Amino acid sequence: MTSPEDTAVAPTPEQLAFVEEFALVLERMGLVRMTGRAAAWLLVCDPPEQTFAQIGDALQASKGSISNALKQLTTMRWVDKISKPGDRKDYYTIRSGIMPELQRQQLAQYGPLTETTARGLALFEDPDGPKAGRVRDMHDFFVWLSKEMPVLLDRWDAERGQS
């Protein structure tokens, strides 16, 4: 049974258009569309903390699809599941600062990718030759990202006053 506080204000057509557009972008990046919808809704909803029922009502989606989307978003750490004192319901909210945090976590992946592509280059008689070009391009890109991404993230923090 849905309680009155579980009923959210209905999304505006503009909010729903944003939700769909955002979901399509994330779908092109490999996520399930409903995961993108849930993330987008949590970006624009008011209040910013929403119950499972509020998200389902706003998105007009099944419990199963909302459950799967929220599970993926919490596993990916895009969304926090929180509780409030004296309230038995769980609330979901987009994590503040999640994008720079995810980029910092991804930095740890560049080392193994650089090492692996270096081993790939060693497979060629001439690692600088045309036959090694595909591996070299990837290797050089990961080396570059390893150097540049920390600088970009530091600049982001400085510009936002978080250094």
Quote the pLDDT of residue 121. Answer: 97
Quote the pLDDT of residue 161. Answer: 83
Residues 16-45 pLDDT 10s:
999 999 999 999 999 999 999 999 999 999
Quote the pLDDT of residue 47. Answer: 95
CA dist., res. 37 & res. 66, Å (int) = 9
Numbers of helices and strands, H then E, in the chain: 6, 3
3-class SS at 90? strand
Quote the pLDDT of residue 11. Answer: 94
Quote the pLDDT of residue 163. Answer: 59
3-class SS at 156? helix
Tokens linked to 116? 């692996």
Report residues of the chain scoring pLDDT below 50.
1-2, 4
Quote the pLDDT of residue 45. Answer: 96
